[in-house]
Structure 1
Amino acid sequence: MKSLQAYCTCLFICLFSLVWLVPDTARAAPALKNEAPAKSAVNPIEKRRELYEQISVLSGIPWYRLAALDQYERALTKANRKSRQQLGQYIGIFVTEREWAGLLNPDDQDEQPRSIRWFNGFGLDGDGDGVASRTSDADLLYSAAKKIMLFGTTEEEFETALWHYYHNPRAVKRVQQFAKLYAAFDRLDLFEHAFPVPVRSSFSYRDTWGTSRSWGGYRIHEGTDIFAHYGLPVRSTCYGIVEVKGWNPYGGWRLGIRDLNNVYHYYAHLSGFDKKIQIGTIVTPGQTVGWVGSSGYGKPGTQGKFPPHLHYGVYRDRGYVEWSFDPYPMLKQWENEERRRLKKK
C-alpha cells in the first residue's frame, strides 16, 4: 500500500510540473520576440561633434577650434602609437597622469577637482559629476578648452594660447590649419580621397618607394612615380590646405598639401599650377591643382631631364619630425575605389 501511495505521489508531482511549468515556458517564448530591438551603435563622428558643441557653449571657443585641437592630438596618437594612447572613448586629447593631477600632487591618480586645482593640475570636471576623470571625454575636452580660453577667443589670442599649450610652432600651425578646414566645411567627415590623376586617362605606376637616387647625392626615392603624358591634370587626393608651392631643385615645380590626419601630400615635377592654387588655399579630393610635367634637377625652370611623370609622396608629422612612408598601397586603394564609383554612375 505504501509503495502504491508513493507511486501516486510521484505521478501527481509529474502532472503538476507539466501543467504549471510548460505554460510558463510557452508564455516566455513570445516575450523574446517582442523585446525592444537593440539600440544602434553610436556614430563616433556625431558623438564628437556633439561633445565639441557642448564644450563650446561652456567655454565660448568655437566648436571647430576644439575639433582642430582634438584632431591634431588624434593624428599624433596614430603617428606615435607606442608612446601615446587615446584616453577618452571619442576624444583623442592626451594628458599624462602627473600633468592631470598636478606635478607636486602626492596622488597621481587624484580625480578630486579641488585638490587637483590646489596642485595646479590640468584636470577639471566637465560633465558636472563632481569628478575630474582623465578618461572622461567631457572632462578631457573641457580641461583643454579652459587652458585655451585663458587667452581669449580672437584668432590672434587663439594662436597665443596654442603656443602656451604646445610650445611648438609646428603644432600651432597644424591646429590652425585644421580649424580652417572644419570652419569652411562645417563638418567632421573630411577624409574622402581621390587618385592623383584621372583614372580614365593613360598612366602607369609601380611601387618605387625606397629605391636609390643619385642626382644631388645618394638618397632613397620617397614616393611613387606615376608616368603620364605631359599636361595631364594632377588632382588633390584629399581635403586639405596648400602648405607649400614653388620651385625645388629636386622636385621642380612642386606642391605640398596637408590633410586632417597630419599627412603631407607632396606633388613634384609639375609643368605648372592651377591659377586658383595659393599657399593657404583649401582643396578638395579630385580638384585640379596642377599638371604633369618634367621639371626639376636644376635651377628654376629646368625641364626635360627625365620623362614626364608625377612624383607623389606622403609624410607623416610626429610632432617634431616628419617621416616618409610608402604611398603605393594607398594609391592602389584610391584608384580601385574611384573606378568602382565610376562604374556605378
Structure 2
Amino acid sequence: MEHEQYDRRMNLYKRMEQVTNIPWYYLAAIDQYERNIRAVRHDLPKVTGLSGIYIQKEKWVGILNPNKDDVDAKSIRFFDGMGMDGNGDGKADPHDDEDVLYTFAHYLLQYGTDHHQIKIGLWNYYKRDKTVKIIMGIAKLYKQFQRIDLHEHHFPLSIHVNYTYRDTWGDRRGWGGRRIHEGTDIFAGFGVNVYSTCYGVVEMKGWNKYGGWRIGIRDANNTYHYFAHLNGFAKDLNIGDIVKPGQLIGTVGNSGYGPPGTSGKFPPHLHYGMYKDNGRTEWSFDPYPYLKRWEQETKRKK
C-alpha cells in the first residue's frame, strides 16, 4: 500500500514535469518539504491527498476575492489569485492534487526552470534561506537516487563491535554553561567506525567547541542527524556530499570541550543527536527510540 502511494506521487510529479518542464525532483522536493512541516505544525492542516503543498486561502483565491472558498478558475484569475486549473476541469481546487502542484509549478515558471532560477523563486516564496537550502538538498537526493522512498536507516555503529548506550536525552550538562544533553551517547572503542543513519546531504563538517569534530547530515524528512566527538572523518567526505545508510562517515573519538584539537576530556563515545525543522525553527528531540529501532532493523538485515 505504501509503495503504491509513492508510485502515485511519482506519477503526479512526472506528469507535471511534462507539462511545465520543471524537473520532477524539484517539484517532489517542494512537495516533501511541505509534507514534512505539515506533519509537525499545529497551525497547518494535515495532509490528506497525494500532494503536501499548502497554499493559504487568500493567496489561492486572491486577496480581494469575497469568496474565500472560490474554485472557479476564471473567477480566481480575475481576482489575481494563485490558484490554477491543473487538469482541465475548469476548477482551481486547493484540495485537488493536480491543481495544487500545477499552481506551484506555474509560480516557479515565472523565474525559469534551471537550478539557479528555481532557487530564486523559492526564496521569494518562502523568504527563508534555510528552507531553500533544505528543499534543494531534498531535490539533490531525489535526482541522485531517482526515487522518493528514501526512508531506510542504519544504526550508527557496527552491530558487531562492543558498544553501550542508554537514554540520556535531556540530562544536565555543565561544560560551557548549564544546558541539556541534546542526544544519546553511544560508548565504544576509540576509532570504531561511524556510519550514516540515513540517506542525506552533508550539511556541516568540522569543529564545534562542544561537539569536537562533528558531522551534520540532513535527510529528506527535514531531520538533521548530528554525529559528534569524532576522532576523524571518512576520506573525501565533504559538505554537500550525498550519503546512504551504512556509509562510513568517521570514527569514534573523544574530541571537544575546547578549541580545535581538544580531546581526552571524557571516554570515547559517539554523541548522536536529531533535530527537526518546521519551517520556522529547529529543535532537538530524543533519538533513543529511533536508535533502538534501527539497531533491530540493522541486525535483521545482517
Tell me if TM exceeds 0.5.
yes
Name the aligned partner's letter for residue 222 of structure 1: E
The structure whose residues are more often helix, as a share, is 1
The match for 2:7 is: 46
Q: RMSD value over aligned CA atoms?
A: 1.2
Kindly tell me: are residues 241 and 307 of structure 1, through their superposed partners in 2, closer, same or farther at Cα, counting changes over 3 Å? same
Residue number among 263, 272, 276 corresponding to 2:223 in the alignment: 263
The match for 2:19 is: 58
Question: For the residues of structure 2 that align with 1:72 and 1:124, how far apart are their CA atoms?
Answer: 21
Segments of structure 2 that go 5 or more residues without pairing to the other structure are none
Q: Does 1:294 pair with 2:254?
A: yes
Question: For the residues of structure 2 that align with 1:276 and 1:146, how far apart are their CA atoms?
Answer: 39
Higher relative contact order (CA 8 A, sep 6+): 2
Q: Does 1:285 pair with 2:245?
A: yes
TM-score normalised to structure 2 length = 0.98
Displaced runs of 4+ in structure 1, greater than 3 A?
A: none
3-state SS of the aligned residue for 2:122?
A: helix
Question: For the residues of structure 2 that align with 1:163 and 1:292, how far apart are their CA atoms?
Answer: 38
The match for 2:190 is: 230
Question: For the residues of structure 1 that align with 2:152 and 2:65, how far apart are their CA atoms?
Answer: 45
Taking only the aligned residue pairs, the percentage that are identical comes to 52
Residue number among 38, 45, 48 corresponding to 1:85 in the alignment: 45
Kindly tell me: are residues 88 and 62 of structure 1, through their superposed partners in 2, closer, same or farther at Cα, counting changes over 3 Å? farther
Question: For the residues of structure 2 that align with 1:98 and 1:166, how far apart are their CA atoms?
Answer: 16
Question: For the residues of structure 1 that align with 2:47 and 2:137, how far apart are their CA atoms?
Answer: 24
**Deviation of 1:317 (Å):** 0.4
3-state SS of the aligned residue for 2:95?
A: coil
TM-score normalised to structure 1 length = 0.86
3-state SS of the aligned residue for 1:43?
A: helix
Aligned 1:182-201 pairs, distance under 5 A: 182-201=142-161
Q: Does 1:318 pair with 2:294?
A: no
Question: For the residues of structure 2 that align with 1:324 and 1:232, how far apart are their CA atoms?
Answer: 25
Name the aligned partner's letter for residue 32 of structure 2: Q
The match for 1:331 is: 291
The match for 1:28 is: none
| Structure (1 or 2) with the larger CA radius of gyration | 1
**Deviation of 1:201 (Å):** 1.0
Deviations 1:21-50 (A, max 9, x none): xxxxxxxxxxxxxxxxxxx89811000000
Segments of structure 1 that go 5 or more residues without pairing to the other structure are 1-39
**Deviation of 1:88 (Å):** 5.0
Mapped contact 1:242–1:257 kept (Cα < 8 A): yes
Mapped contact 1:148–1:165 kept (Cα < 8 A): no
